[in-house]
Amino acid sequence: AIPLKCREIWKRYGANEFSDVDGFESQFVKHVETTLARSIYNCDNLAAYQATSNSIRDKLIVHWNKTQHLHTAKDVKRIYYLSLEFLMGRALDNALINLEIRDLAATAVDELGFRLEDILEVEPDAALGNGGLGRLAACFIDSLSTGNYPGWGYGLRYQYGIFSQKIVDGYQAEAPDYWLRFSNPWELPRLEIQIPVDFYGYTTTVKDPQTGKSKKQWNGGEQILAVAYDFPIPGYGTSNVNNLRMWSSKPTTEFDFQKFNEGDYQDSLAQQQRAESITAVLYPNDNFYKGKELRLKQQYFWVAASLHDIVRRFIKTKRPWDQFPDQVAIQLNDTHPTLAVVELQRILTDLQGLEWDVAWSIVQRTFGYTNHTVMAEALEKWPVDLFGTLLPRHLEIVYDINLAFLQMVEKKFPNDRGLLSSVSVIEESQPKNIRMANLAIIGSHRVNGVAELHSQLIKQTIFSDFVKVYGSDKFTNVTNGITPRRWLRQANPGLAALIASKLGGYGYLNDLNKLKGLEQFVEDPGFRAEWAAIKTANKTKLAALIASTTGVTVNPNSLFDVQVKRIHEYKRQQLNIFGVIWRYLQLKATPKAERTTKFVPKVSIFGGKAAPGYYTAKTIIKLVNSVGSVVNSDPEIGDLLKVVFIPDYNVSKAEVICPGSDLSEHISTAGTEASGTSNMKFVLNGGLIIGTVDGANVEITREVGEDNIFLFGNLAEDVEDLRHEHHMGRSHIPDSLVQVFDAISSGQFGTPDEFQSLLDGVRFHGDHYLVSDDFESYLEAQKLVDEEFRKKEDWVRKSIISVANMGFFSSDRCIEEYAENIWNIEPLEEKV
Ligand code: GFP
Ligand code: GFP
């Protein structure tokens, strides 16, 4: 500790934050000249971005220190959000907005000879996630800070984020995303925090010298260090700044001396180097699971380091162990961090000497588990052998957890072997598997789905036997949400400002229900005109993005119909592109003079990545591009139809795309999309939805009203029966779809062989995603869209009413629900 007599100096020179344009400018110049070792003579946009970010970061750190100190001093309960993915996107604009200094910064960089827009464009996306699950985590930590909840995120600092996507000859090609190329001003390397993590090895039974009892011990075989990198997360309208801690793997300083002595220096070093591969790259699969050893290594590495940190922080408080759940809530974002359940049980029993039952009760009271999918192919299972080799002690603990659980079930439901085998953590297959979802349910006090329909479905389908065992109270719903700071204020500054002018400022940004106040202006023609002008400006911006990324020129007066999300058969981009082909065929078959009265000019916009090994998804991308190249160069068609695929869809592009849509497509097979969150982003930006009765579309409809959404298709409750019909050979392919398939098979859109499997999936292989069943209904809905879009004023009314009723979908509301119903945690704000 610093001697008392020295503290005066510390106080006098304690870190100061700037609060005006001059202050910012002096920070900026200081960073250019010292941090970056550049000068007025060679300060380019990159340097300006780095100097700006460093200046803002300094400010965040001051707040971050105060917030962390406050939480420690008040000894509050913290929520730890464990997510293998945080799809953050860019940080600078978000920080400027949340700190409410965007105008100040714009003025300052202008005076220094730069444009804020150019500086913002330099920043690469932090793309440490695949899709919805990772972006949800990013929205949640924004809302945790904004709501003043003492909350941390824990994740992995991948050196390579999700691959960047190029389109070559209409095909997806993947390129590595080395986002740390120019170093990252938004992270604080905490090189002093290095946590050793063990793998492999064996277990032994030893005598506890204190109690004399025998106990299990894990003797690890390989050790890797987890180094902490902290990302300060600012809230909006508060000075609280929370922490996102990301782990990076490093070799230990030890190396294999035996090998070294045997003369194999090279090999002993190579082994060290491999340590870094653990956090090298994010797995690019979405809603699909593949049992790779490196993935399990990532999971344990991350979970072990995070729990070590959490437990260390708790021990500092000197509280008794049974108070652990009063101080710590841990949320499992999907089953990826489920090993945390086992690791905490191991720490409490093996390392801290607690009795099994006492420890287990602490574990269960600490964890909550969020499920994001009901699809079987996405549920994680680890082969017992692989698991046991990598984590021998954890495997024993899994068996012990399972035994105690099954004994409880057996007691309640004697001799129900079917029930036992379905709820068991061990799947008695060849080879045997560990079912991570079962483990997550057993180890948590609450399990939630992410939209009402989804939360119902998990109780009725995949987890129905657990409802039998535990009753339904353990299962709950928290419908997803999005942060309006990024998805309205940052993405759509024009609309955000118009709304602020009507609602008396930007207060709605952290109290989104205030949007309701917009309804009173619906009949104001001046307001509607402003609203429509903003949409046109946003479409113009999107048209520029389309031109620069695809080379296709589109007319902003056309209907912009967008489907951007991961490419997946269940999300049904194939249904969309088949519909586009149908539209094209209809256009061609209509006499020229009648075309413009029958069809509104439309741009069909696609975007999204396919998992590198997912053949069908890649075929869909190729089909979209093939259709585009035919349609876009057809002189008969002109502006009546354009089809584009925007490459490398990411958060930054979404910020341009969402505000620029008239219509967006959320057309998953009913019962497959757990929630969806881009549906919320599009509506919040004044676009309407064409969608199935699935995920959060259901609740969006409830909020905005049935007149303001275009729903179609079969319902979730009918899906199983329809699939059964298909399997019994009773499929019916409607004539419209037959015509589409004929056009493809005739070679109208390039070599038909390439698309054969896509068509056969629908025609001969059971049409699992019910494209044939929903096609006609989809076309009907699209027809209605055309009719409604012609009524310009009514369309704008629908847009305004929709936005006015989107308050429910703020991620601030989600966090409040989690805090109250699952985490039992209170906000704490530092009064400045
Ligand atoms: C420690 C200190 C806190 C301090 C943080 C960040 O926290 O007062 O704000 O480090 O430097 F106790 P823990 O990580 O130990 O909670
Ligand atoms: C998954 C589900 C989505 C859901 C998000 C967030 O998304 O329906 O909205 O999680 O809960 F599929 P992806 O990660 O698969 O995009």
Taking the C-alpha atoms of residue 774 and residue 670, their distance in angstroms, rounded to an integer, is 10
Query: Which ligand lies nearest the alpha carbon of 373?
Result: 2
The whole-number pLDDT of residue 272 equals 77
What mean pLDDT do residues 511-522 have?
Answer: 98
Burial group, residue 405, by CB count within 10 angstroms (0-12, 13-18, 19+): buried
Quick: pLDDT tens for 379-423.
999 999 999 999 999 999 999 999 999 999 999 999 999 999 999
Work out the percent of the chain whose per-residue pLDDT is above 70: 99
Ligand 2 atom closest to 134 (CA): 14
| CA-nearest residue, atom 15 of ligand 1 | 313
Q: Is the pLDDT confidence value at 707 over 80? A: yes
The whole-number pLDDT of residue 822 equals 98
The whole-number pLDDT of residue 291 equals 77
Cα of 132 to ligand 2 centre, how many Å? 4
| CA-nearest residue, atom 3 of ligand 1 | 69
The residue ranges of every structural domain in the chain are 524-805
Q: Is the pLDDT confidence value at 677 over 60? A: yes
pTM of the model: 0.97
Q: Which of 70, 72, 192, when mutated, tests ligand 1's pocket best, judged by the most ligand atoms within 8 Å of its CB? A: 72
The whole-number pLDDT of residue 270 equals 80
Q: Which of 83, 136, 692, when mutated, tests ligand 2's pocket best, judged by the most ligand atoms within 8 Å of its CB? A: 136
Taking the C-alpha atoms of residue 280 and residue 275, their distance in angstroms, rounded to an integer, is 9
Q: Which of 83, 133, 333, when mutated, tests ligand 2's pocket best, judged by the most ligand atoms within 8 Å of its CB? A: 133
Q: What is the 3-state secondary structure (H, E, C) of 427-464?
A: ECCCCCEEEHHHHHHHCCCEEEECCHHHHHHHHHCCCH
Half-sphere exposure of 619 (CA within 13 A, CB side): 18
What mean pLDDT do residues 694-704 have?
Answer: 98
Q: Which helix (H) or strand (E) holds 781?
A: helix 771-790
Work out the percent of the chain whose per-residue pLDDT is above 90: 93
Query: Which ligand lies nearest the alpha carbon of 676?
Result: 2
The whole-number pLDDT of residue 152 equals 98
| CA-nearest residue, atom 5 of ligand 1 | 68
Q: Which of 162, 334, 374, 450, when mutated, tests ligand 2's pocket best, judged by the most ligand atoms within 8 Å of its CB? A: 450
Cα of 128 to ligand 1 centre, how many Å? 26
Ligand 1 atom closest to 64 (CA): 9
Quick: pLDDT tens for 232-251.
999 999 999 999 999 999 99
What mean pLDDT do residues 59-69 have?
Answer: 96
| CA-nearest residue, atom 14 of ligand 1 | 313
| CA-nearest residue, atom 8 of ligand 1 | 69
Quick: pLDDT tens for 81-120.
999 999 999 999 999 999 999 999 999 999 999 999 999 9
Ligand 1 atom closest to 312 (CA): 15
Residues with CB under 6 A from ligand 1: 65, 68-69, 72, 313
Per the CB < 8 A criterion, the answer to whether 277 and 188 are in contact is no
Cα of 675 to ligand 2 centre, how many Å? 6
CATH 3.30.1600.10 for domain 524-805, yes or no, is: no
The whole-number pLDDT of residue 611 equals 96
Q: How many CB atoms lie within 10 A of CB 794?
A: 12
The whole-number pLDDT of residue 16 equals 83
Q: How many CB atoms lie within 10 A of CB 374?
A: 20
Rg (CA), the chain: 28
Average the pLDDT over each of 202-216, 308-322, 323-337 and give the range with the smallest value. Answer: 202-216
Query: Which ligand lies nearest the alpha carbon of 130?
Result: 2
Ligand 2 atom closest to 85 (CA): 14
Catalogue the active-site residues: 372, 565-566, 571, 677, 681
Q: What is the mean pLDDT of the chain?
A: 96
Beta bridge partners of 691: 666, 711
Supply 431's token pair: 């080879």
Taking the C-alpha atoms of residue 360 and residue 444, their distance in angstroms, rounded to an integer, is 10
DSSP 556-587: TTSEEEEEES---TTTTHHHHHHHHHHHHHHH
Taking the C-alpha atoms of residue 371 and residue 566, their distance in angstroms, rounded to an integer, is 19
The whole-number pLDDT of residue 269 equals 79
In 86-140, the DSSP E strands lie at 86-89, 126-128
Query: Which ligand lies nearest the alpha carbon of 193?
Result: 1
Taking the C-alpha atoms of residue 556 and residue 540, their distance in angstroms, rounded to an integer, is 6
Measured CA to CA in angstroms, residue 22 lies from 28, 72, 80 at distances of: 10, 34, 38
Reported as a pLDDT band with limits 50, 70 and 90, residue 255 is low
Cα of 152 to ligand 1 centre, how many Å? 12
The whole-number pLDDT of residue 210 equals 81
Residues with CB under 6 A from ligand 2: 130-133, 136, 286-287, 372-373, 450, 480, 566, 673-677, 695
Three-class SS state of 282: coil
Query: Which ligand lies nearest the alpha carbon of 78?
Result: 1
The whole-number pLDDT of residue 116 equals 98
Strand pairing report for 126-128 and 86-89: antiparallel
Cα of 783 to ligand 2 centre, how many Å? 29
What mean pLDDT do residues 155-166 have?
Answer: 98
The whole-number pLDDT of residue 256 equals 64
Reported as a pLDDT band with limits 50, 70 and 90, residue 832 is low
Query: Which ligand lies nearest the alpha carbon of 328?
Result: 1
| CA-nearest residue, atom 12 of ligand 1 | 72
The whole-number pLDDT of residue 259 equals 67
Q: Is the pLDDT confidence value at 648 over 60? A: yes
Taking the C-alpha atoms of residue 673 and residue 675, their distance in angstroms, rounded to an integer, is 6
The contacts of residue 501 (CB under 8 Å, 6+ apart) are: none
Per the CB < 8 A criterion, the answer to whether 348 and 362 are in contact is yes
Reported as a pLDDT band with limits 50, 70 and 90, residue 427 is very high
Q: Is the pLDDT confidence value at 185 over 60? A: yes
Average the pLDDT over each of 212-221, 228-237, 251-260 and give the range with the smallest value. Answer: 251-260
Quick: pLDDT tens for 460-506.
999 999 999 999 999 999 999 999 999 999 999 999 999 999 999 99
The whole-number pLDDT of residue 289 equals 77
Cα of 20 to ligand 2 centre, how many Å? 41
What mean pLDDT do residues 158-187 have?
Answer: 96
Q: Is the pLDDT confidence value at 449 over 70? A: yes
Q: Which of 69, 76, 240, when mutated, tests ligand 1's pocket best, judged by the most ligand atoms within 8 Å of its CB? A: 69
Ligand 2 atom closest to 674 (CA): 8
Three-class SS state of 675: coil
Cα of 149 to ligand 1 centre, how many Å? 16
| CA-nearest residue, atom 10 of ligand 2 | 133
Quick: pLDDT tens for 767-810.
999 999 999 999 999 999 999 999 999 999 999 999 999 999 99
What mean pLDDT do residues 61-66 have?
Answer: 95
Quick: pLDDT tens for 349-388.
999 999 999 999 999 999 999 999 999 888 999 999 999 9
Cα of 68 to ligand 1 centre, how many Å? 6
| CA-nearest residue, atom 16 of ligand 1 | 313
Cα of 811 to ligand 2 centre, how many Å? 14
Quick: pLDDT tens for 20-54.
999 999 999 999 999 999 999 999 999 999 999 99
Quick: pLDDT tens for 523-554.
999 999 999 999 999 999 999 999 999 999 99
Taking the C-alpha atoms of residue 762 and residue 731, their distance in angstroms, rounded to an integer, is 9
Cα of 69 to ligand 1 centre, how many Å? 7
The whole-number pLDDT of residue 264 equals 78
